[in-house]
Amino acid sequence: MHEKAIDEKAVDTGVLHNEEVTLVRRIDLRILPLCCWIYLLNYLDRGNIGNAKVLNQETGDSLLQQANMNTYQYAVAITLFSLAYGIFEVPSNFIMKRYVRPSLWLGFLLFGWGALTIGFAGVQNYATVVVLRFLIGVFEAGFFPGIVYFITMWYRVEERALRIACVVAHANLAGAFGGCIAYGVGKTNGTNGLQGFRWLFIIEGLITALCTVLVIWFLPDYPSRARWLNEEDKQFANDRLQVDGGGFTKRHASKHEIKETLIGWRMLAHYFTYTVDCIPLGSFTFYIPTMVAGLGYTSLEAQLLTIPPWVCGYLTALTISFIADRYNARGYMVFASGILGGTGWLIEGILPAHAFTARYGCLILAACGAFPASAPLTAWVTCNVPSVAMMAIATAVNNSCAGTGQIVAQWIWKANEANEGYPTGNYLCAACMYVVAIMGLVLRYMYGRMNKNGSLDAAGEKRVWAY
């Protein structure tokens, strides 16, 4: 038997634990920094249209003004972007699982939307904005579910939420960086005859495209292909994943496994919860500069004031995800995030529109809900897929729900409600977060019952369901 095979004796003596800790640390150092960085770029390029929407609007140089667009057309453009997410995430993960190794496929996606983002700097009309934004959505669609599936090929169930949270939390940092970059770029408005928003797309798109080299050359695909692991460690890395379901497999799923993944009531509950969470999450992504500008600040001030909500969300996401993994408390952490975020949105909606300072504080509180709930919800799906063979499809289907949630988010921040403090957006986001909180408890109770009853997975295998 392999020297580092998983067995009870090794666990009892503590040898396995020490070897495993050492291996996981090596994997963390090789994988997480790069995954966090490229997902930061992903979210930076996803949300920069929200910065461009209001950047330099006082001088008539914002994206909407230069492309002769209104807020309705902006919402349509973002809706089509989100629609691309819903359509192309599952095919993208299927391609990565069956035909192209992760480093090449993720690198291809990265370069594709980076190049299109640079091209976005040349938009002159509404039609061009719509087409380019849809194409960017096509390339970005498979990126996050691809990273999540990639993480499942390296980490065990109890290790995933914190790692996924580390990656997801960098969406918050992307929001903070995006605000800083937009503020700086706004100061260069008119340089070389280009508006500030055009420089924003050029700079961020160029950084993304150049980072393709990092992904292709330095992102390890599978434990069996890692050049920095010897043969013994490669085998050990694979063996440890088989204990609770994970790792890479090209096994074809049965019809029952496919059915349970796509329309099984348990997975539908997960998909529904993530969809609802993505409504407030999408609101932050595409409308937070608009929200802050609606609190009485100029477009440049609004870019800077988007930073604190993102940073607070980042720190809360890491804390909640650590607790979720450490204490197997995903349901409770989703509940806590939902209550926190829902309360922030609710109070903001109740407060008078002119209570700018208090409403800004509520916006920060709301930011501590949607993003922190996202990571445990995403990791939960990877832990409890109906079968390991459906891991890639389940993660893609779950994340495609983000597109649906984001589509809803485009239409609840109504321009004619700016003077009222956007009550529709605030109250709907509050309701969504409270629904997420309730579903967190429902799912936890359900998995507790399944463990008590010894429920098998769709492949007929005995499982310990994470809750």
CA 322 to chain centre: 17
User: Are 41 and 109 within 8 A, CB to CB?
Assistant: no
User: Are 433 and 369 within 8 A, CB to CB?
Assistant: yes
Mean pLDDT value across residues 375-381: 86
User: How would residue 82 be classed by pLDDT, with cut points 50, 70 and 90?
Assistant: confident
Please list, in sequence order, all residues whose beta carbon lies within 8 angstroms of the beta carbon of residue 98, skipping any fewer than 6 positions away.
Answer: 250
Other beta carbons within 10 angstroms of residue 435's beta carbon come to 17
CATH 1.20.1250.20 fits 8-221+244-453, yes or no: yes
Q: Where are the domains of the chain?
A: 8-221+244-453
User: How would residue 298 be classed by pLDDT, with cut points 50, 70 and 90?
Assistant: low
Please name the helix (run of DSSP H) or strand (run of DSSP E) that holds residue 311, with its range, or none: helix 307-326
Other beta carbons within 10 angstroms of residue 9's beta carbon come to 9
Q: What is the pTM of this model?
A: 0.80
Other beta carbons within 10 angstroms of residue 173's beta carbon come to 20
Identity of the residue numbered 95: I
How far apart (Å, rounded) are the C-alpha atoms in residues 74 and 273?
A: 27
Enter the tokens of residue 39.
């997902």
**Region of poorest pLDDT, from 15-24, 188-197, 271-280:** 15-24
pLDDT digits (tens, 9 = 90+) for 222-249: 888 888 888 888 888 888 877 655 555 5
How far apart (Å, rounded) are the C-alpha atoms in residues 405 and 275?
A: 5
**Region of poorest pLDDT, from 62-66, 128-132, 165-169, 275-279:** 165-169
CA 281-287-292 angle, 5° bins: 115
